[in-house]
Amino acid sequence: MASSLLILGGARSGKSRFAVADPALAGRVAFVATAEPRDAEMARRIARHRAERPREWATVEAPLELVARLGEVERTHDAVVVDCLTLWVGNRLLRGDDDAQVLAEADRLAALVRRAGCRLTLVSNEVGAGVHPETALGLRFRDLLGCVNQRVADACERVVLMVAGLPLVLKAPGWRRGVADDGAVQAP
């Protein structure tokens, strides 16, 4: 059954573990990885994440061209986990993409999420609640990732925020965005 879930959270909040532990991930499952082993620490993290997911899952590397690769994979699999949007945005910035290019790709990703024919689970960091970045690039990254997360969250049926390994449901089927005429927030 087609559905979509965005899992947000801080560093080491349990996002990836929660994503791969979903019992609804059945049948032909693909894991779309956006990480590149740029240093020893990242190589260790990648190895740890590989060990945590089932061996029978297909792994697809998509550090830059996430939308194109995801478009291919979602047609041939019952479920797809994308881990993570944070690294994808960072990779695009390091390549030299400007904000408009990243946001255009985020819009393409959101459109793909809305029409996907499989179960999609996407993982991303919530970086807006942490320390204020000291550099212009850090500030740009934080703000851009926040915009990407908003676009993807809007497209997803469900959104969960992980805190200390615990999932907090932010959006579920039936949820509506908006404010009523009297100024009250509309609830599902």
Sign of the Cα pseudo-torsion (152, 132, 42, 22, in order)? negative
**Backbone phi and psi for residue 105, each to the nearest 5 degrees, phi listed first:** -65, -35
* Nearest residue to 149 via CA among 115, 124, 132, 177: 124
Nearest by Cα to 20 from 36, 5, 35, 10: 5
57 secondary structure, DSSP code: S
End-to-end CA distance of the chain: 22
Active site residue 132: no
Q: Vertex 185, ends 179 and 186: CA angle to 5°?
A: 80
Give the active site residue among 4, 29, 33, 49.
Answer: 49
- 3-class secondary structure per residue, 129-188: CCCCCCCHHHHHHHHHHHHHHHHHHHHCCEEEEEECCEEEEEECCCCCCCECCCCCECCC
Positions annotated as catalytic residues are: 49
